[in-house]
Amino acid sequence: MEVANEMVIKKPKRLTSVVWNHFERVRKADLCYAVCVHCNKKLSGSSNSGTTHLRNHLMRCLKRFNYDVSQLLSAKKRKKENTLTIANISYDEGQRKEEYLKPTIVKYEPEQRKDEVFNVQSSWFDQDRSRLDLARMIILHGYPLAMVEHVGFKVFVKNLQPLFDVVPNSTVELSCMEIYGKERQKVHDMLSKLQGRINLAVEMWSSPENTNHVCMMAHYVGDDWKLQKKILNFVTLDSSHTDDLLSGVIIKCLMDWDIGSKLFAVTLDDFSTNDDIVLRIKEQILENKSRLSNGQLLDVRSAAHVLNSIVQDAMEALRVVLQKIRGTVRYVKSSQSIQGKFKEMVLQTGINSQKNLVLDCPIRWNSTYLMLETAIEYRNAFCQLPDLDLDLALSDEEWEWASSITGYLKLFVEIINVFSSSKCPTANIYFPEICHVHIQLIDWCKSPDNFLSSLAAKMKAKFDKYWSKCSLSLAVAAILDPRFKMKLVEYYYSQIYGSTALERIKEVLDGLKELFSTYSICSTLMDQGSALPLGSLPSSSNDGRDRLKGFDKFLHETSQSQTAISDLEKYLDEPVFPRNCNFNILNWWRVHTPRYPILSMMARDVLGTPMSTVSQESAFHAGGRVLDSCRCPLTPETRQALICTQDWLRIQSDDPGPSSSHYALPLYVETN
């Protein structure tokens, strides 16, 4: 064959033009020609022919393959290696594929070309755009900044796009900070235009280096009536931080984002945190501004965290029993022969369970629950197992304790699953679950076993502290669920409080009316063109000698309460909405806003309050949230930028479509 007789000439050192990066010089007999590695077209390759005709070909050929030829030709001015060899890994452009997949059409909106749709196939290479794409990729997926220094990454990028200059670690960090600045301004502008109010969730994080961090996240119902949340700050605390420092960090966050006047509630993950933190926030940020229901709804504690804390009490009380069960399970699973003996005991005792024994992960208490649940089913087999260490044998009383506490844990697992797995965790879902825990704790305290009753009393004391602080918030959110209204409060309070239930129900109703009255006054002031914060009252005149200021205030309050309270009464008097599993409470309030204009404003803010701050991945983790080790060495400023921006970019790239995972994500997208 003709091709077989051709000999590829290695490019001599004198072929320094970057044009030769895209041609192979081939000799046939006495003739030399250049073969384009992209389209295989043969052109004259003689040293006397020069490279002008090759450049002209590239101008026509490379337009199809997303290269900026102007940058390619200008590269002649600087020395460029034809072959990149790093750690014995060779890179040769001659190995490029001859066929290319046609890139998809994406929407790209850089600052200089707004609202323009372009085809990637016909675009020119842009170093700055690719640099920002790289930074966005690192932010979005949580890659370490140092990945740009990795050999494999450099080789991959150079083979993919030789024109891209791989930037150093420090440059990527600057690009990430640049993106953070732009995205932060977008979030700031959005929050400033938000019609509803903002709830701030404060969550403590730890790190492998024993450094404490505080993550502050805004929760709110947007103007589209969808529940939203955005991380605002991720602050590294001093090792000797106190409650004073924590309150200062929260206050600074509110001031930096200019959302103090929009604040509705602060949710802290630790239910035992000193109440002075919220008091300091009220004094310094909310002074002469919104004081909702005398501050009763401002201070919220995370429901999942109090349940986790109660579980840890149960785990500690059962610590010796857990060690024995854990040791027994480990013994049974230690060899095939022992497992065979165990199966014989299972058959002899008539146990029909099909579950496999599991060894728990102690820092994840739901796995401990699964270990206990399975072990209890095989109780009789464990008792008959020969050669078992006597130190691992459980008494009948210990088995009863394990069985009772497993029942406790089952309830908490089910409830926390409801909290953490809900796609739209509006505040109304918490009240029935927390009330059920309350009722069960009351019942557990009545146990005739002193061990179990004392444990239940300790758990209930911790729960009561949480309940005294958050019960009103939980109840109001439940009342604003049209499927329940006051009926759900009446149902649970009669079981919890018995003969004093009517008094407690009246306290909830009074709190609800007080909050509604505040919103009705605020609504009227907004209609009149006033921009006063929620809870403020107008002054009819600037004249200090006006002796009827008090009358104006009295007239305003009484007239509004007489007309606006009917909005709440109308809602409460109407029949409850039928319960169904597909009910969307935010959509219900969006549709009924014209019917309940004031109450819907209140519902939007109340339902957007985060009653729990636990994430799905850390719902059962005994140690709380832990910072990724790759971000620990970063500076606090860079760490905050990466964590916050990752959260914002993930929200932007969230596609509800069922097949969104099949498509590549265009990272460099500037949304309006």
Q: By mean pLDDT, which of 393-402, 539-548, 654-663 is the weakest? A: 654-663
Residue 240 pLDDT more than 90? Answer: no
Quickly count: other Cβ atoms within 10 Å of residue 320's Cβ.
11
307 domain residue, yes or no: yes
What mean pLDDT comes out for the span 518-546? 52
Residue 613: per-residue pLDDT: 82
Model pLDDT for residues 474-488, shown as the tens digit of each residue = 999 999 999 999 999
The last residue of one of the domains, among 383, 402, 421, is 421
Residues 491 and 601 in one domain: yes
Residues 501 and 352 in one domain: no
328 domain residue, yes or no: yes
Residue 552: per-residue pLDDT: 63
Higher-pLDDT residue of 62, 418:
418
Residue 76: per-residue pLDDT: 44
Residues 467 and 607 in one domain: yes
154 domain residue, yes or no: no
What mean pLDDT comes out for the span 206-232? 90
343 domain residue, yes or no: yes
Model pLDDT for residues 166-175, shown as the tens digit of each residue = 888 889 999 9
Residues 473 and 597 in one domain: yes
Q: What span, in angstroms and rounded, lies between the C-alpha atoms of 67 and 457?
A: 72
Residue 88 pLDDT more than 80? Answer: no
State how many domains the chain has. Answer: 4
Kindly list the distances between the CA atom of residue 479 and the CA atoms of 464, 520, 568, 573, 599, in Å, as whole numbers in the listed order: 21, 18, 11, 12, 11
The last residue of one of the domains, among 40, 62, 84, is 62
**Counting Cβ atoms within 10 Å, is residue 369 exposed (0-12), middle (13-18) or buried (19+)?**
buried
557 domain residue, yes or no: no
Residues 454 and 589 in one domain: yes
Residues 314 and 399 in one domain: yes
Residues 322 and 380 in one domain: yes
Model pLDDT for residues 303-341, shown as the tens digit of each residue = 988 999 999 999 999 999 999 999 999 988 888 888 888
Residues 313 and 225 in one domain: no
Phi-psi region of 87 (alpha: psi -120 to 50; beta: other; left: phi over 0): left
Residue 532: per-residue pLDDT: 42
What mean pLDDT comes out for the span 119-146? 82
Decide: 583 and 426 in contact? Cβ < 8 Å.
no
Residue 409: per-residue pLDDT: 94
Residue 580: per-residue pLDDT: 80
Residues 397 and 435 in one domain: no
Residues 268 and 333 in one domain: no
169 domain residue, yes or no: no
Kindly report the average pLDDT of the chain as a whole number. 79
209 domain residue, yes or no: yes
Residue 547: per-residue pLDDT: 64
Q: Phi, psi (5° rounding) for residue 271? A: -70, -20
pTM of the model: 0.73
Higher-pLDDT residue of 369, 248:
369
DSSP classification of residue 93: G
223 domain residue, yes or no: yes
Residue 241: per-residue pLDDT: 65
Residues of the domain holding 504: 427-524+583-612
Strands 89-91 and 84-86: antiparallel
Model pLDDT for residues 293-302, shown as the tens digit of each residue = 444 457 888 8
Residues 342 and 416 in one domain: yes
Residues 317 and 448 in one domain: no
Evaluate the CA torsion angle 577, 579, 584, 585 in order and state its sign.
Answer: positive
The last residue of one of the domains, among 9, 36, 62, is 62
